[in-house]
Amino acid sequence: MKFSGQIWKYGDDINTDVIFPGKYTYTLRDPKEMGKHALEDLDPEFASNVQNGDIIFAGKNFGNGSSREQAVVCLKEAGVSAVVAISFARIWYRNAINNGLPAIICPEAVIAAVHGKHATVNIEGRVINIQDKTYSFPPFSETATEILKYGSLIIYIQKKLADIGNSKLAS
């Protein structure tokens, strides 16, 4: 997987309430609609200007707060291809992987990233390119790699259930 897009750079502790306001959690169901409210209370310019493939670079503890999965879905629907941060909140991180959105820990790239400039991400090669510099990031865990390969936890579980079904048929 390779992604290429414009850098949207934000600070530390970008919480789930500013990514996707709680007031929408039980009223918005269409993922496309969720995308229109991405980062609404942090950067009102984001949702209307983000392009497919764009990459978010942020500081520490990205996605802290609520367990709401819409805080991942809205970014994906808005066109974000990956989020690179110094660190991630744990539930947001799991939700990202489970929805096939790469959440990449790479402090050096975050420091180098400039808002509005261009970046590329190569998942298999584990590198980020910003201008003419290259930054490498650590591998995903075995399970995260599997889920990212299938594209989502839903497909991963479908496969797992099918395997169980097949082994029952065989025995």
Partner 1 sequence: MSMQTFAQKALAKSAGLQNVSIGSTVDARPDRILSHDNTAAISTIFNQFGLENVLQPEKLVVTLDHAAPPPTPIHARNHAEVRKFVTRNNIEHFFEIGRGICHQVISEEALILPGQLIIGADSHTTHFGWLGAFGAGVGRTEIAALWATGELWMRVPNSISVKLTGQLNSGVTTKDLCLHLIGQVSSDGGLYASIEFSGESISQLSIDSRTVIPNMMAELGAKNAYLPPDKQVFEWLANKLKHRLSVEAISKLAIYPDKGATYLEVIEIDLEKLEPQVAAPHQVDNVQPISVVAGKQVDQVFIGTCTNGRLEDIAIAAEILKGQKLATGTRMIIIPASSQILHSAVDLGYISILLDAGATLGTPGCGPCMGNHLGVPAAGETCLSTGNRNFRGRMGEPDAEIYLASPAVAAATALTGAITDPRSLEVS
* Strand-pair category, 55-58 with 82-85: parallel
Nearer to partner 1, 57 or 156 (CB): 156
Q: Are 85 and 75 in contact (CB under 8 A)?
A: no
Number of residues in contact with partner 1 under rule CB under 8 A: 42
Binding map of partner 1 across residues 71-110, x = CB under 8 A, - = no contact: -x--------------x-xxx--xx--xx-----------
Beta strand residue intervals within 10-114, DSSP E: 55-58, 82-85, 103-105
| 112: enclosing H helix or E strand | helix 107-112
Which residues are near partner 1 by CB under 8 A?
13, 15-18, 21-23, 25-27, 29, 40-42, 60-61, 64-69, 72, 87, 89-91, 94-95, 98-99, 141-143, 152-154, 157-158, 160-161
